[in-house]
Each structure stands twice: as structure tokens, then as C-alpha cells.
Amino acid sequence: REEESEVLAVSLSGGVDSMVLSCCLLALAPRWNLELCVVHVDYGVRSVSREEAAFVRCWSHEAGVRFSLVELDGAGAREARVKRNEFEELSRQARYDAYREAMVDHGARA
């Protein structure tokens, strides 16, 4: 009987570091009996954030990896003049909440 794969959630920004890590994990997944799930957080602050999200979605699709997109209203927080440290804390908490939710949705333990 074949053992069921363990789902591993990976935060993927689309930057070089997270892309290299994800490619390495994808290559090792069969050997380690892993199934990857990519979580991308779009803070909505930078003008290129939508393109980054589209890139990560496309890469995930081509790699055959499950994909979760979390969209935060960073622009709205800026308009509300939230202080930088307050914005960073709110963003961090929202990101961690999103990771937990994606892990539950995809059955990931880590």
C-alpha cells in the first residue's frame, strides 16, 4: 500500500529566494513523499503586486502545485494613515492567519 503524501504549505513571494526554495522542494517532493501547496500574500501596497501574484499563480499551475492567494488591503491602510509599525503588525497577523487558513484548507501540517 502506498503511503499518503504529506502536504507542505510554502509561502511564495515570487522573489528569487522563495522561488529557488520552492523549486528545490518541488524536486525533492517525490523522494520525501510531499505534496506542495503554495501560499502567496498580495499586500496591495506596491504597483507590481498583482503581476507578482499572477506570476506565482502561473508558476504553481505549470508545476502542478496547489495555489492559495491572500489579498490584503494595504493601500486602504495607507489611506487611513495607519502608522508604519502598526501596519507591519497588522500585516504580519493577517499573513499568519492566512497561512493557518490555507494549511487547514489544504490539509497541511507544516
In a domain, 50, yes or no: yes
Give the predicted TM-score (pTM) of the model.
Answer: 0.83
CATH number assigned to the domain comprising residue 13: 3.40.50.620
Do the Cβ atoms of 110 and 5 come closer than 8 Å? no
In a domain, 96, yes or no: yes
Quote the percentage of the chain above a pLDDT of 70: 89
pLDDT above 50 (res 1): no
Domain that holds residue 21: 6-106
Quote the percentage of the chain above a pLDDT of 90: 59
Each residue's pLDDT tens digit, 8-41: 999 999 999 999 999 999 999 999 999 999 999 9
pLDDT grade, residue 77 (50/70/90)? low
